[in-house]
Structures are given as structure tokens and as C-alpha cells.
Amino acid sequence: MTHLYTPTGAAYELHCALDRIILPSFSVQAVSITSLAEMNRVVTSRFPILGEYSNGTIFGDCLDNYRQRMHHDMVHLKFQSDTSPKGEYPVMWQQCLEIERVSGAQLANILWGDLYGQVVHMVKYGVFPAQQALFTMDYLRTGQIKQY
């Protein structure tokens, strides 16, 4: 087994985990959904997923990053949780519990580092980290949020 605390190992394991979670169909778009109200309006059609910023993630492959975003947004809808930092917390927690159920705690911890770390980075610096995989692995290694 590839060591999970490497970007390559995590990417492969996350790919396999996402294969075990049933997701609705989606389409890749240039514009992001920014609110729960928007999510609720489009849920009956092919759900739009932001196509940008999918290179350099812990998922390795853009398609897996899109699938992770779809999974994340489905949890928002399931719990009717908004997209504020406060609303993101229960969504991240549930998403990691679902990954843990299909692939174990180590992989869920990596995903938590990615999701939680990026939200804290956004609150602290006003932007998501540009180099997401490097940011996540550094955060998991040091426990500190540095600007990336």
C-alpha cells in the first residue's frame, strides 16, 4: 500500500473512496455556487461544479476533485447547511465521517486537513491556498496554517 501521507498515496486512496460513495450527475462550470439557496435551486438538474482550481489538489486528478466537490455539496444539501465558515464545519465533519466509513480514519484525517485547513486559510488570508496539495500536507505535518 502506498503511504497515505504523500500526495500520490492520498490521491489514489481518495479516488478509491470516492468510487464507494454514490454521487448524482454533475456538470463542470466556470462559475461556483456560492450559497445554499443556489444549491437548492439547481439540485433537480445536473448539478454545476466549479471547474477552476482543480489542479494541484490532494486528489491528483481534476475529475476526482470535481467528485469531491459534488460529495461536499451533497452534504450541504442533506443538512441544509450554509456556506459560511460556521456552516462549513458540520459539512466537513459529515463528509469526513462518510470517507472514514468507506476507507478508514487515516484518509478521513487527510481530507479533514484539506477541508478544514482551507476554510481557516480563507478566513485568515481572504483566499483559498493556491497550492492546495502542498498546503494540506504542510498543515497535516505542522498543524499550522501558513499562506500558500
Encode pLDDT of 47-82 as tens digits: 898 888 888 888 888 889 899 999 999 999 999 999
What is the grid cell recorded at 51?
471547474
How confident is the prediction for the chain on average, in pLDDT? Answer: 89
Encode pLDDT of 100-110 as tens digits: 999 999 889 99
Closest to 71 (Cα-Cα) out of 47, 95, 90, 103: 95
Rounded Cα–Cα distance for residues 113 and 119 (Å): 10
Which sign, positive or negative, has the C-alpha torsion 111, 112, 115, 121? negative
What is the grid cell recorded at 55?
489542479
Encode pLDDT of 4-19 as tens digits: 666 567 788 888 999 9
* pTM recorded for the entire structure: 0.86
Residues whose CB falls within 8 Å of the CB of residue 77, separated by 6 or more in sequence, listed in order:
36, 39, 40, 43
